[in-house]
Chains A and B, each alone.
Chain A
Amino acid sequence: MTVKYKTIKEIKQMISQKEISNKEIIEEVYKLIDENSHLNAFITLNKDRSIKKAEDLDNNPSDSSLAGIPIAQKDLFCTKGIRTTCGSKILDNFIPPYSATVIENLENAGCISVGKTNMDEFAMGSSNETSFFGNVHNPWGEKLVPGGSSGGSASAVAAGIVPAASGTDTGGSIRQPASLCGITGIKPTYGRVSRWGMIAFASSLDQAGPMARTAEDCALLLNEMCSHDVKDTTSLDENIPNFEDSINESLKGKKVGVVSDLDLSSLDNDVIGVYENSLQEFVSLGAELVDISLPNLSLSVPTYYVVAPAECSSNLSRFDGVKFGRRSENPKDLEELYVQTRSEGFGDEVKRRILIGSYVLSAGYYDAYYKKAQQVRRLIKKDFDEAFSDVDVIMTPTTRGPAFEIGSKGSDPIQMYLEDLFTISANLAGLPAMSLPNGNIDNKPIGLQIIGNFLDESTILNFGHMYQRKTNWHMFTPEGVKQ
């Protein structure tokens, strides 16, 4: 028996049929981590405690919904007693005294957190090249990036090491790596999942979500991750449905918005072909395609690259070497303590965004940049509100193409920023959005993005699951199609 490439549902079945013990599962996970160490997907492992937890489960079986399910946690979530680096040198010695609400929710449901996954430093990046702990590699090709920033999580799931991982998504950090690694991931509505214990990048955009092999597994994970948390005032006090309940609903008569003003000219014909094929699959499932217009969509990348750096420039101020994390050696005065600690502790991309953010918030520029960006953000949200009065979901490609090679985007950050072209608008509008595999180009997976209405994760999971019942793109692994 093996758990490699297995879904949560399959592993649950194996446990309940006593085909495998909890301890065997966890031991195999660590074996798989070892065998895949070249992927560099993990920063810190949590082996002893995980094996102990599995043994306890073997002795005292639990009927919690995710009992014994191994999960990889993005190293952006604080985990009590376990080093949490956020992919940064400045936190390479930071051991939090508390756990994020998401971590607690998942562990209370029985998940075993096997380790902390590599990521772009402070979640700033789309290729995992900005991590202080080195590149993560895509299991689909040693030279390929896994995407980012949740690249370690995506890589670990895609390599079949774990059935599930947590991610966070500020501008596409769950969906873009999901697309490049051929897995399914969802960014919920802003406020569905508590941000308590998530190290903030851009507070008004950050949202945690699940990464797994199928939409169905994402629904199982999301059931546990969501909660109304009084410790996070932006967390929504809204009814949380059972996301599994409606995944099998017929798509007959449901409407798919197709963005007519989407500029696909920068995409390969292959990518466009894959995208259009998927739309036809949905038509054959009974859904109807409806042209919609999102006139301000093209403004989302520049808007994002004002709002997100502004927030991050402030959020990252606490990393100053005074209270926790790394402090530079022998500063001669306070100014040098700050300058050296931060110069040594942050990588180039983080510095670049702190600089941009400080600039757009500075006196005399605030109105022209930050304030204007917030106004545009409201327009983008309004576009979506209008579109959703006509349709149930909106579909776009998740990414401009499949995984690219490490180092291939060169030194032009704008090229990297454009990676998030399709994903960013959902963050700006606070809407739920999913990426799921919908094709292969040159034996590299690629994903489809399904954006849902506010609080309507159920509908996008329903679309995703029905698609995965009909197609087998989610069964593709780097070692061939899963049987």
Chain B
Amino acid sequence: MSWETVIGLEIHAQLSTKSKLFSGGSTEFGAESNTHVDLVDMGLPGVLPVANKEAFYKAIRFGLATGAEINQVSSFDRKNYFYPDLPKGYQITQMTKPIVEKGSIKVLTDKGEKLINITRAHLEEDAGKSIHDLFEGETGVDLNRAGTPLLEIVSEPEISSAKEAVAYFKAIRQIVTFLDICDGNMAQGSMRCDVNVSIKKSGDKELGTRAELKNINSFKFIEKAINYEIERQIRVIENGESVVQETRLYDSDKNETRSMRSKEEANDYRYFPCPDLLPVVISDKELQEIKDNLPELPEEKESRYISEIGLEESEAKIISSSKTMANMFEEASSKTDDIKLVAKWLVGDISALLNKDNIEIDESNLSPENFGKLIERISDNTISGKIAKSVLEEVWENGSDVDEIIQTKGLIQIQDESVLEDIARKVIESNSDQVASYKSGKDKLFGFFVGQVMKETQGKANPKSVNEILKKLLK
């Protein structure tokens, strides 16, 4: 029997606002426990939430960038449940009137481009953290994260494989980082997702019973968790049993999903409109201002790089694929005239180094200034491309200044033709056999002479000059 998979994602993107969704508390990551907590975040008796407009503006940017409808009047609801790191005993979220509805995003899959619809994107507050391993026999609660604004982005169940789910997540991550509304840092939990997975017989119209996989925070785990879950569901059905609607937890150590709670055990969240908050109204003027100031998106960047700068399509695609890459490209380009060379190095050597270290470019030691300088030194013939590679490697290691490396290591290219000619003569004199062979027709030996000159100059000779001089001398 063949099976089709139906997947929907709920992505939580932490919005990069300065203060929390309903209080003045700071959203900074990594502070000492319970230091970024004000009266509202603690849920003290008598406190009231005040909605942070900045979070709305960021959510609207997402809506505009995904061609969604913006609800200029949106409201908040309470989702009631008990948990120690949920200070009020309810989460304030947007159930009935979300700020963003009906958007879509293009995703690159094995079978080409696919449009995945976004049902809604709504604002809600994050909970705190329960810490189970710090105190013997006790659980600690850290409320620093409590009240941090999240944009929950809900897709339609239109994703049909684990790979596609990852591609969708990557597309969302790309867009929120380009919009500067979320730092996209998955390790710090700035983006995480719940995945709804179900299977059905190929061609069936009706959806199967779904399981929800909770709180997954890496691309690798999304793919593994979904694939495990698909196989589990197939196994269940082929054994003549039925899939139970439930919430499951993915255990990355064992690579399996485990039941957390069934539908019967699920909370009744008793949603109702939050009486402490009036509906939030976004004026036409505010909306227009956000539209006018929308940052350039990946696709727009790509076509601009091709049409205005003249990059190859493949280069433009790679450079515009991530915000950090595009930033590096644009900033380094402002330091040098040879923009195409900037692109060539980014796509070539630098991408290779990034892949090797598995990091983003803003996590590397390379600054746009230093990178721009490196390109400048290549294009003004101070150093050769080959030397530049070794300079880049050193910058990569320790972030040293490009000019300093060139100076202290004496890497400046030898331009003086008389010096090069002297060296070339010596090479020719001490290799008379090869000279004879060359002159008798073994043209390939030309490279040997170039190599010898380079060796003598420790690579610092200008290759173009060496070529010309050798050609003249060996005539």
Contacts and interface: CB of A to CB of B under 8 A. Distances in A.
Contact of A96 (B46, B78, B84, B87): B46
Contacts of A313: 80, 270
B43 interface: yes
Contact of A233 (B47, B87, B270, B277): B277
Given A86-B45, A96-B45, A204-B275, A317 B89 contact: yes
B317 interface: no
A334 B46 contact: no
Interface string B48-59: 111100000000
Contact of B272 (A98, A195, A310): A310
A196 B82 contact: no
Interface in A222-264: 230-234
Interface residues of B, number: 29
Given A233-B51, A361-B270, A318 B88 contact: yes
Contacts of A310: 272
B270 A203 contact: no
Given A97-B39, A200-B46, A314-B78, A358 B276 contact: no
A161 interface: no
A200 B272 CA distance: 16
B50 A338 contact: no
Nearest to A371: B272
Interface string A266-310: 000000000000000000000000000000000000000000001
Nearest to A235: B48
A353 to B, nearest CB: 14
B173 to A, nearest CB: 33
B265 interface: no
A195, A230, A320: residue with the most chain B Cβ atoms closer than 10 Å: A320
Interface stretch (A52-60, A212-220, A362-370): A362-370
B29 to A, nearest CB: 22
Contact of A314 (B50, B89, B141, B278): B89
A32 interface: no
A78 to B, nearest CB: 5
B82 A314 contact: no
B42 interface: yes
Interface in A296-352: 310-311, 313-314, 316-320, 322-324, 334, 338
B276 A233 contact: yes
Contacts of B131: none
B270 A314 contact: yes
B260 interface: no
Nearest to B280: A233
Nearest to A94: B45
Nearest to A203: B275
A75 B43 CA distance: 19
A475 interface: no
A234 B273 CA distance: 14
B43 A233 contact: no
A462 B256 CA distance: 73
A310 B77 CA distance: 13
Interface string B126-153: 0000000000000101000000000000
A314 B82 CA distance: 10
Interface string A190-203: 00000111111011
B44 interface: yes
A225 to B, nearest CB: 16
A178 B139 CA distance: 47
B275 A311 contact: yes
A323 B42 contact: yes
Interface string A100-138: 100000000000000000000000000000000000000
B436 to A, nearest CB: 90
A91, A232, A317, A323: residue with the most chain B Cβ atoms closer than 10 Å: A317
A438 interface: no
Nearest to B85: A322
A363 B268 contact: yes
B90 interface: yes
A310 B141 CA distance: 28
Given A195-B48, A366-B272, 10 more contacts: A196-B48, A197-B46, A232-B48, A233-B49, A233-B278, A234-B277, A316-B89, A317-B90, A318-B43, A370-B272
Interface of B: 39, 42-51, 78, 80, 82, 84, 87-90, 139, 141, 268, 270-272, 275-278
21 contacts: A77-B46, A97-B44, A98-B39, A195-B48, A197-B46, A200-B45, A233-B49, A233-B277, A234-B48, A310-B272, A317-B80, A317-B89, A322-B87, A323-B43, A324-B45, A334-B84, A334-B139, A338-B82, A361-B271, A362-B268, A370-B272
